Amino acid sequence: MKRFPGIAIAGLASIAAGAIHGGAIGLHAEHPQLARIFIVMTLLQLAWGIAILLRPQHWLLPIGVIVNSAAVGGWALTRVAGISWIDGLEVRESPQIADTLCAGLGIVAATVALAALLIGERDLPQVRLAFPSFAILLLTLPAMWNGAAHVHSEAVTVDASGNIINESEPHGHNESGASVAQVANETVAQVADTTVAQWPRAYDPAVGIDISGVPGVSVDQELRARDLIEQSLKLLPQWADTATAIAGGWNSIGDASTGFEHYINRRLIEDDKFLDPSAPESLVYKVDGNKRTLVSAMFIAKTGVAIDDPELLDFAGNLMQWHIHDNLCWKLKNGTSVIAGITDAAGNCPAGSVRAGAGNAMVHVWIAPHPCGPFAALEGNGAGRADVSDAERVDMCHESHAHPDDSSTTSAVAPTTTAPTYNDTGAARITLAGFAGVTAAQQARAEELIYQTRTILPKFATPEIAEEYGFTSIQDASTGVEHYFNWSWINDEHELNPNYPESLVFAVGPGGSRTLVSAMYMVGDEYTLETVPDVGGPLTQWHIHNNLCFNRDPKISGSTRVVGVTSEDGPCSFGIKLRANPMLHVWLTPQACGPFAALEGIGAGQIKPGEERLCDEVHSHG
């Protein structure tokens, strides 16, 4: 009798794989998209297996190959890299018994169906299904039993105390008699109330290591991350003294002017150790004058290891973000490589320096408190570039903040008085009545400046329009706002004129969008903080920036960008300082600290000695 060779085995294998998929549907109910995929795959594998057993026809064979190959391909992809566009499969998972057996059965079904398709029907004896059915049943039942205890990497549940529940135990009822569904509902409410899943979150080793409950992070990833932090806290302090680090082979890269100084041991970059706190490739010290305080390790992957290498991404999953610095320029100084600056827009380095080490992936592990978590990047240029957008990075707070315990950058925004109440509706014409110490003339000038700014400034609505007027970016978008300057307007005849604003401030949104949010008026070189024009008296507080380093003189080149930050009035180790012209913001939309609010952190700049900061609320993004 003519039959397709082995087709009964293919049908049974497909039915078994479909049954295992069906048993996993409920376990992935927290991800509806994934659960629907399991439902579809279950129906397809079962339907094809039954159809090919009952009525084996030639046209069914390619369907069986496609269905089972798709199932196997999806499984393989989730074990290698994850599937970013499917909720619940974003990160790579380790193979487990149930899914591996399911994939194996899918391979059998697809392979046999393909062979039958290529060979065609042959004269074959009657097929006895008892033994193969029993053999596949022996594989299927343990797989389904094990699958019932499988915990998907993102389905990490916490109990009412915030502790991880070990879901490797079979689902059932707890000792108190409450159903799993009841416990789950209570847990979801608890998580929603405490926002336990938020990441990154503030980190203080003195309080404890809080990295639990982060979506997409498996138990193994969390354990590895916790061990790395604990070992770093234990081992890194042996290099607390820079002299000890130098004796051990670490050398400064000369970036102290940024507020943090990196010491690198290049020999360790090419060794075989990976995220090893006993041999960190780089040590990071906070700079306070001549004082250096060890705050972090910066682990650097071997040359040639891509930033999206599975070994890097799988170590701590969504807890950790690797980044690279592909815009650094280096030169030799006393036989040691130090930073000479960063590349320009065309990727060129300053004369006498070269671009090197662009591809090495790196990640920080902090032993000092940090508001953006134990794996936080530095800010600004120090954050480097990741393989995702800044908005998707998990090593940034995505809000304005100062460096941890960094008095050199937070002294300008020390808490002062409670924020005054502004009756700012966002309209062009608002009233600023009721502020103590403000004369009628000062109030009128301040209100008129707001009106003129909000009426006229929108003509520079986009960076493209701004560039047509001669504005260029100082490339500080990593701070959350980007400043565009028209350097030729700073010393022109126009002052506080929204038709000739010296600087425009754009808020950086998701996907790199830019929204015009403020003018930053600047007065000419003849002014100081003591001689600035009186606009609104106590309403309008001017500031300067005497701690920024730029790559070149805009009076010669027409443009420049920020390449570093120093302590107040400190020298630049690379780049140059520009004249600290007084400046004043006027916002287009209401701000917690009023229409003339400064930015926060480093962005706040320095105010007139003896004055108090008018407001200390977070207001840089409105």
Domains of the chain, by residue range, sit at 2-147, 157-192, 219-324+359-398, 410-604
Q: How far apart are CA 153 and CA 31, in angstroms?
A: 12
The residue type found at 383 is A
Q: Give the angle 237-242-248 at the CA atoms, nearest 5°.
A: 80
Coil, helix or strand at residue 173 = strand
- pLDDT for residue 29: 56
Distances (CA, A) of 290 to 228, 259, 577, 622: 30, 11, 21, 37
Three-state DSSP class for residue 381? helix
- What's the confidence (pLDDT) of residue 134? 62
What CA–CA distances, in Å, run from 30 to 25, 34, 155, 179, 277?
A: 10, 9, 8, 17, 37
Return the pLDDT at 184: 35
Residue 406 confidence (pLDDT): 38
Whose CA is closest to 485, among 456, 513, 521? 521
Query: Which pLDDT score is estimated for 193?
Result: 40
Contact partners, residue 296, CB within 8 Å, separation at least 6: 283, 284, 364, 365, 366, 367, 368
**Which residues on adjacent β-strands are paired with residue 264?**
251, 282
List of residues 6+ apart from 606 with CB closer than 8 A: 412, 543, 544, 545, 546, 547, 568, 580
DSSP result, 69-116: HHHHHHHHHHHHT--TTSTT-SS-----HHHHHHHHHHHHHHHHHHHH
Instruction: Tell how far CA 406 is from the center of its chain.
Output: 22
pTM of the complete model: 0.45
- Residue 564: what pLDDT? 78
| pLDDT confidence of residue 31 | 62
List, in sequence order, every residue forming a beta bridge with 173; answer none if it has no partner: 179
SS3 522: strand
Mean pLDDT of the chain: 81
Q: Residue 157 and residue 30: Cα distance in Å, rounded?
A: 11
Contact between 222 and 211 under an 8 Å Cβ cutoff? The reply is yes
Low-confidence ranges of the chain (pLDDT < 50): 148-196, 400-419, 616-622
Count of helix runs (H) and strand runs (E) in the chain: 14, 17
Rg (CA), the chain: 31
Tell me the sheet residues that pair with 483: 505
